[in-house]
Structure 1
Amino acid sequence: MKIFFSRKNASIIAGLVTLSLLGACGNNEDTAPEETTTAWDEIQEKGSLTVATSGTLFPTSYREEGSDELTGFEVEVAREIGERLELEVEFTELGFDEMLTSVQTGQVDIAANDIEITEDRKDNFLFSTPFKYSYGTAIVRSDDLSGIETLEDLKGKKAAGASTSVYMETAREYGAEEVVYDNATNETYLRDVAIGRTDVILNDYYLQTLAIAAFPELDITIHPNLKYSPSEVGVVMNEDNTELAENVDRVIEEMLEDGTIAEISAEFFNGADVTEKVEIEE
């Protein structure tokens, strides 16, 4: 059987083919994937950076007596980061353990509170380029060093601090009984050691030195022989926020290069430059 096509039929078929092709093109445009908005895009859009800090850790994050203004070494470093990224900085005051949870859940962009960089934490978070180097020490009672000569003597002693800090991990490792506070001030920690409610505070050398100097009336001291765990500190970010981390690293490296962080360090650590790496014999 033969089928004959007139010019009219041919025109109709050609029109249908054209419509079909145009329709296909239109469908492709409709189904094209939308651009993904990143956390860094959202931060830029709102024009601000949310930073978790304690507000109770002298001289990292605190308020001077009689002032409502939050300040401290890492508070001012965070402010400078924001300025160089052309972002306002909004601080949220949280306990140490809450900070890391808030970073993980995206409630804050950054945590800045003398948080040590460890391999375990790097499995779950992004850390900035380090800008503070130190080591661990122990605050004990002056008269008997709280009965502690070596780290092995921590067994059975009451060690005060944040549950998830690397220093409390050290205390647990050596058998100490942990005493955890809910975002308490330095004075509370120190007085409890002095009166025997607790025995020891394991923490960073620079923080411990300044804390003791702030309360000379208390019968406490830094243990003369305990030096351990060289440490590096940076700000903490969600592991998925790679663009934020890249931009934070860029400005921190600028600040290290031009001496800005060293100047901030001198202001809060009695002239010491915490950006310099330290060597200790373990």
Structure 2
Amino acid sequence: MNKIMTPKFSVAALTAAAALTLSACGSDSEETADTASAWDEIQEQGTLTVATSGTLYPTSYREEGTDELTGFEVEVVREMAERLELEVEFSEMGFDEMMTSVQTGQVDIAANDIEINEDRKEKFVFSTPFKYSYGTAIVRADDLSGIETLEDLEGKKAAGASTSVYMETARSYGAEEVTYDNATNETYLRDVAIGRTDVILNDYYLQTLAIEAFPELDIVIHPTIKYRPSEGGMVMNKGNDELVENVNKAIDEMLEDGTIAEISAEFFDGADVTQPIDIEE
């Protein structure tokens, strides 16, 4: 997932805590007990800890003039937690840090428009997918940044998070990566408009809404570049089987009764992102 950030606030950095080291000689029964106790601890505390950026409009952000965290996945998480009879404690951080925090057990879940792919599935467990999209490219309006196809990315400056699937695509076509530390939408977009960078590869829905937020910038979504159909879900650590089971049960119910589709319409200008998309690459 590459980051398209909301321009309306900044986010304080979080200090990473030391991870507990598990004994390599633990038995299968001990591992089962650890797994069970992880979910038991969540229930005992009554709180689900969730990593999110707080800067990714409209997935996780703050409305102008308020201190209230909201967004598509923020509200999906809140509804899911309510069905699990849990409170939610959000921790705001950059993408790389949130994945590390899941892996080390600092948080229970990461929810931030995270695309499901094979590399991540080797390290993490994903929830049932509930967002489908595809990749697009933001470029300058006057000359499309000299890009007609993905092959033209060679030598261009692509803005985004280094570990995102979109930056992986940019690098695979020879683009020069330009990375940011949890920057805002405006920073990303304005840099393309003024020529500091050339292109932002990212999710179609996020790109569309980001451009709508800054009509004064001379940028557009590339009219012909469509690639990488994607599906996204929440991220959890491997071994937390009961957590995964309960999260999926709630999400499946929310998909079936249309709750996530309703939340999608609220944040994606009426669009239902829960429906798979078929595009010609």
Partner of 2:85: 86
| Structure 2 letter corresponding to 1:124 | K
- TM-score, structure 1 as length reference: 0.87
Counting only pairs closer than 5 Å after superposition, residues 168-187 of structure 1 correspond to structure 2 as 168-187=167-186
Cα distance between partner residues in 2 of 1:204 and 1:270: 15
Cα distance between partner residues in 2 of 1:84 and 1:136: 32
Cα distance between partner residues in 2 of 1:221 and 1:190: 10
Shift of 1:242: 1.2
Structure 1 residues 66-92: Cα deviation after superposition (integer angstroms, max 9, x where no partner): 110000000000101110110100000
| Structure 2 letter corresponding to 1:65 | E
Counting only pairs closer than 5 Å after superposition, residues 41-190 of structure 1 correspond to structure 2 as 41-190=40-189
Cα distance between partner residues in 2 of 1:179 and 1:113: 21
| Structure 2 letter corresponding to 1:259 | G
Computing the radius of gyration from Cα coordinates, the structure with the larger value is 1
- TM-score, structure 2 as length reference: 0.88
| Structure 2 letter corresponding to 1:273 | D
Which of residues 14, 29, 36 in structure 1 aligns to 2:33? 36
Shift of 1:184: 0.5
Secondary structure (helix, strand or coil) at the match of 1:36 reads: helix
Structure 1 residues 167-194: Cα deviation after superposition (integer angstroms, max 9, x where no partner): 0000010111111110011111000100
The size of the alignment, in residue pairs, is: 250
Secondary structure (helix, strand or coil) at the match of 1:44 reads: helix
Cα distance between partner residues in 2 of 1:240 and 1:229: 29
Unpaired runs of at least 5, structure 2: 1-28
Structure 1 residues 105-143: Cα deviation after superposition (integer angstroms, max 9, x where no partner): 000000000000001100000000000000000000000
Structure 1 residues 1-32: Cα deviation after superposition (integer angstroms, max 9, x where no partner): xxxxxxxxxxxxxxxxxxxxxxxxxxxxxxxx
Shift of 1:163: 0.9
Counting only pairs closer than 5 Å after superposition, residues 9-24 of structure 1 correspond to structure 2 as none
CA RMSD of aligned residues (A): 1.1
Shift of 1:240: 1.4
| Structure 2 letter corresponding to 1:226 | I
Cα distance between partner residues in 2 of 1:126 and 1:202: 25
Partner of 1:242: 241
Partner of 2:4: none
| 2:253 maps to 1:254 | yes
Cα distance between partner residues in 2 of 1:36 and 1:203: 40
Cα distance between partner residues in 2 of 1:214 and 1:198: 19
| Structure 2 letter corresponding to 1:159 | A
Using CA pairs under 8 Å that are at least 6 residues apart, name the structure with larger relative contact order, 1 or 2: 2
Shift of 1:206: 0.2
Secondary structure (helix, strand or coil) at the match of 2:133 reads: strand
Shift of 1:255: 0.1
Shift of 1:36: 2.4
Runs ≥4 residues deviating over 6 A: none
Identity of aligned residues (%): 83
Higher normalized helix content (fraction of residues): 1
| Structure 2 letter corresponding to 1:193 | V
Structure 1 residues 240-263: Cα deviation after superposition (integer angstroms, max 9, x where no partner): 111100100000000000000000
Partner of 1:11: none
Partner of 2:211: 212
Partner of 1:278: 277
Secondary structure (helix, strand or coil) at the match of 2:33 reads: coil
| Structure 2 letter corresponding to 1:272 | A
Partner of 1:14: none
